[in-house]
Structure 1
Amino acid sequence: MEKDAGDHDYEADGFGVGYKSESSIDTPHQPNILLVVRDYPNGTVFDIKTNKYVGPKAGKPAQLKLLDRYLASEQRFLLGKFLFPDKLKDLQGREVVIAGFDYRPYTVIKHNTKANARDLAVSGNSDIKNVYIDGTETRIVLSFCEKFNCTVQIDTSDADDWGNIYPNMSGDGALGMVINHKADICIGAMYSWFEDYTYLDLSMYLVRSGITCLVPAPSRLASWYLPLEPFQEALWAAVLVCLWIEAVGLVLALKSEQELYAAPRDRDSWWICTKVGLSTTFKLFISQSGSSKANSLTVRVLLFACFLNDLIITSIYSGGLASILTIPSLDEAADTVQRLHSHRLQWAANSEAWVSAIRESDEPLVQDLLYNFHIYGDDRLLQLAQEQRVRIGFTVERLPFGHFAIGNYLVPQAIDQLVIMQDDLYFQYTVAFVPRLWPLLQQFNTLIYSWHSSGFDKYWEYRVIADNLNLKIQQQVEETMSKSKEDIGPVMLGMSNFAGFILVWILGCVMAMFAFLVELLFTKSINI
C-alpha cells in the first residue's frame, strides 16, 4: 500500500481504491499491516510504517509507527530493520476479551473474591468490576495469555445464552458479541455448529461433550398382576399343563373306581366324575381338603402324588411372592435412547442450543425425540424439578472424564428422584469461536495441541470440579447410575401391594355368585 506523506487523499492507479489520510487508517485487528508512504516533494524517500498492534487499548495499538525508511536514490534502507516483525510473540498486555457466561465447569465467573480479570459489563467505578474467572475452557485462554503476554478480560453484557448469528451479520448472546466485534473469543461449551461456522472461525476441538438426560427413577411395581410375578410365563404354562394332567387323571381314576367297586345302579356318571375331579384338583392346588371318599388304591396313590406335587408348587410360589413383597421390584427407567423414545418421556432444557446440532437430522428416532423436547426458563425448570413426583427429563452434559455439567435448577431433592441415562443422546466436540481472520488463532490452536498432549485436560477437569462445583451433587448423579440395580432393602407394605390379591378375591366372589345363580336357576327349572 503506497500513499503520499501529506494528509491528502490518494487513489491507487488502476485499482480504483481510495485511500484517505494516514491518521484515518484503522487497523486494530490485524498485526501485519505494512504502509509505504512516499515523500511528496521529491519522491525519492519512502517511509515504511506498520501498525503497533501490541499493547493495551490505552496505548492506541492501531496507530502507525515508523518501521524503516527507504532511500530510492541510494537504493538502500536507512535503518536496515526486518520489515515483517513477529508481533505475536509478545502482545505486551493487549486485551483479549472473552464473551462468556457462568456455565460451570466450562466457564466460572465469581464476584467478591480474588480477581484475575476485568468484567467489561460492569462500570469502572463499581466494586465488582474485577472478577475471578476459571473453568476447563477458560484456563486455556488464561494459559494462552500467560504465554503470549496478553491481558484477559471478560464481557458478560450480552452473553446471557450461547446465542445465534443471523444472515444479516448480526447476532445475539455470546456468539453475537463476537460477530459484533465486542469480544475476541467465545467459549463455554460451544459446539461446532455449522450455521455459525459460516460466519465465524473456530478453533480445534477442546473437549468431547455428550448430551444426556437425568430421567425419572424407576418406580416400584405394585399392580394388579403382582400375584403373577413369582412365576415366569413359561413356568405358569407348565403349572397349568400339570393341573390339567392331574384333573384328567383324577377323572379317569374316579370313573374306573366306579366301574370296579360300585354297583351298576350306584355308579356316578361322567359328568359327576368330572366335577369331582376338577374340584379335587383345585382344592389340592390351594391346599384345601376334599370331602370325597377314595375306595381304590389307585385313587389314593394318585391323590397323594397330586398333593405332593401341588405342595411343592405352592411352596415355591409362596417363597417367590414373599421376596417380591418384601424386596420390591422396580419398573423400567427411560435410561437409554431407545427407552426414552419408547416411553415417550418429555424432556427439557433452558436453550435451543442443547438440540440445535441434531435439529436438522432426518432420522425418525431423532425427530420423535425432538417432538418431546421443550424449552423452559430456569425458574420453570426449578418448579418442575421440585415437584413431589418428577415426571420429566432434564438435559445435562457428560464431560470426557466422568463429570457432569448440571444446571442450578437441579437441586439435590430432585436428583434423588432421577437417574442418569446409560448412553448419550448425541455428542459434539466443543470449540472456541473467534472472528474471521483472527490473527491469534494459529497460536491458540498450537497451545490446544500441547494441552491435549500433556494430559492437562483431565487434570483441569478434576481441579475445576473440585474448586468450583458441588462435589456432593456430582457424586449424587454418579450414584444414580446403579440406582435401578441396587438392593434398596425391605420396605413397609401398603395397600398397593395387595391390589392384585383384592382383585383376585373380587373376581372369585363374582364367579362364585354367578355359579350360585346358575345352580339356583337350574334347580328351579328341574323342580318345575
Structure 2
Amino acid sequence: MISIFLNQGVFSNSVFSSYRVLISFILLSGVVLSNTYASGLASVLTIPRYGKPLETIHDFVESPYRWGASSLAWILSLESADTHDIRELVARFDMIPGEEELFRRSLGGDYGLAIEFLNSGYYAYLSFVRQENVQLFDILKQELYFMYTIAYSQRGWPLMEYFNKFNLETIQHGFILHWEKQMIRKYMSSRIEQILSLIAEGHNSVKELKPLSVTHILGPSFVLLIGLSAAIVLFILELIWVHFNSRLILKPSSVERQTVYVKLRAKLSSATAAVERDSKRNATSTKSYKSV
C-alpha cells in the first residue's frame, strides 16, 4: 500500500483474484490522493494568498494594525463613545505631528492613515498621502463618523437669521459642492484623487494578476533541485556499494582459495588411492583365477 502511494511498483500475484481487486482499489485511491496533493501544492506555489479585506470598523479592530494622524481632532468626537469597537479604535490611535513619519510608517502596509471624505465625493488628505504609498491602502466601506461644519456666533446676534438663510441657499444651490471641487482641483492631486476613488470602488492596480514566470517558482525549484541531486548521489553510492559487496562475495580471499585448493587436492589424492586399490584388487583376483 505504501509503495502504491509513493508511485512505486508492487509484486504481482496472478493466483488470487481478490488480491488483484484489492490492489486495483488501492491503486485508484493512490491516484486520487496523488493528484489531490499535486494540485494543492501547485495552487499553493502559484496563487498568492491575500488576507481578509478590511471593510468595517470591526474588521479593523480585529486586525493587529494601528492608525494615526497629525492631530487629535480626529478622535475628539470619539472619546466619549461607549461601544467596544470605537473605544478600541481610539486606543490604537497615534498622534504623530510629523507627516514624514506618518508617510514612513505607511510604507510597511500595516499602518492606517486618516483621510476625510467630503460631501462632493472627493477626499481631503495631508501630504503624508502620496503616489508612493496611496496604492498600498484599502479604504473602509464603513465611515468612522460623520459631522457637520459648525459656525459659532455670539448669543443674540441680529444677523443669525440671515446667516442661516444664506447657508441653506448655498447648500440648496450646490455652492458647497462647487467650492469643495474647486479647492480639490486647486490644492490636491488629481492623480491621487483618481486612485483613491478606484480603491474605494474595489479596484487596486497593485493587486492585478500577473502571468506566472520563473521568478515565482524559483524557491521551490531550488528545493526540488537539491532533493533530486541528493537522490542521484545516494543512488550512485548505492550502486557502488552493491558492486563492491558483490565482488567481495564472489571473489574469495587468498586464504580461502588456499583452503579450497588443499581440500580439493586431498579429495583428489583419496580418489586416486581408491582407484589404485581397486586396480590392484582386480589384478590379484585375475591371477588367482588363471592359476586355478
**TM exceeds 0.5?**
yes
Q: Select which of 306, 309, 318 maps to 2:26.
A: 306
Q: Is the 8 A contact 1:390 1:417 kept in 2?
A: yes
* Aligned position for 1:357: 77
2:163 alignment partner AA? F
1:376 alignment partner AA? I
- Which of the pair is proportionally richer in helix? 2
Q: C-alpha separation between the residues in 2 aligned to 1:295 and 1:434?
A: 105
* Aligned position for 2:93: 373
In the TM superposition, what are the counterparts of 1:334-413 in structure 2 within 5 Å? 334-377=54-97, 378-385=99-106, 387=107, 389-413=108-132
CA drift at 1:427: 2.0
Asked if 1:465 is matched to 2:184, the reply is yes
Once the two structures are aligned, what percentage of the paired residues are identical? 24
CA drift at 1:383: 3.2
Distance of aligned partners of 1:414 and 1:487 in 2 relative to their CA distance in 1, 3 Å threshold: closer
CA drift at 1:301: 2.2
* Aligned position for 1:418: 137
CA drift at 1:396: 0.8
* Aligned position for 2:35: 315
Deviations 1:100-128 (A, max 9, x none): xxxxxxxxxxxxxxxxxxxxxxxxxxxxx
Q: C-alpha separation between the residues in 2 aligned to 1:498 and 1:369?
A: 44
Q: C-alpha separation between the residues in 2 aligned to 1:289 and 1:402?
A: 68
The alignment's TM-score, normalised by the length of structure 1, stands at 0.37
Q: Is the 8 A contact 2:45 2:217 kept in 1?
A: no
Asked if 1:477 is matched to 2:200, the reply is no
Q: C-alpha separation between the residues in 2 aligned to 1:496 and 1:401?
A: 49
* Aligned position for 1:449: 168
CA drift at 1:346: 1.1
Unaligned runs of 5+ in 1: 1-279, 506-528
- Equivalent residues, number: 220
* Aligned position for 1:489: 210
CA drift at 1:443: 1.8
Q: Is the 8 A contact 2:69 2:95 kept in 1?
A: yes
Alignment root-mean-square deviation, CA: 3.2
Asked if 1:430 is matched to 2:153, the reply is no
Q: C-alpha separation between the residues in 1 aligned to 2:61 and 2:184?
A: 32
Q: Is the 8 A contact 1:419 1:480 kept in 2?
A: yes
SS in 2 for 1:419: coil
2:60 alignment partner AA? L
Q: C-alpha separation between the residues in 2 aligned to 1:373 and 1:359?
A: 11
Between stretches 477-486 and 366-375, larger displacement belongs to 477-486
Q: Is the 8 A contact 2:135 2:206 kept in 1?
A: no
1:311 alignment partner AA? V
Distance of aligned partners of 1:353 and 1:290 in 2 relative to their CA distance in 1, 3 Å threshold: same
SS in 1 for 2:143: coil
Deviations 1:385-443 (A, max 9, x none): 3x4x2431111112234321111112211213222122122222222333444443322
Q: C-alpha separation between the residues in 2 aligned to 1:419 and 1:339?
A: 12
CA drift at 1:470: 0.6
Greater C-alpha radius of gyration: 2
Deviations 1:149-196 (A, max 9, x none): xxxxxxxxxxxxxxxxxxxxxxxxxxxxxxxxxxxxxxxxxxxxxxxx
2:103 alignment partner AA? L
- Which of the pair is proportionally richer in strand? 1
Deviations 1:311-350 (A, max 9, x none): 2343344334324422312122444211211113111011
CA drift at 1:446: 1.2
SS in 1 for 2:19: helix
Distance of aligned partners of 1:307 and 1:362 in 2 relative to their CA distance in 1, 3 Å threshold: same
Distance of aligned partners of 1:296 and 1:346 in 2 relative to their CA distance in 1, 3 Å threshold: same
Between stretches 370-379 and 487-496, larger displacement belongs to 487-496
In the TM superposition, what are the counterparts of 1:39-78 in structure 2 within 5 Å? none
Asked if 1:297 is matched to 2:20, the reply is no
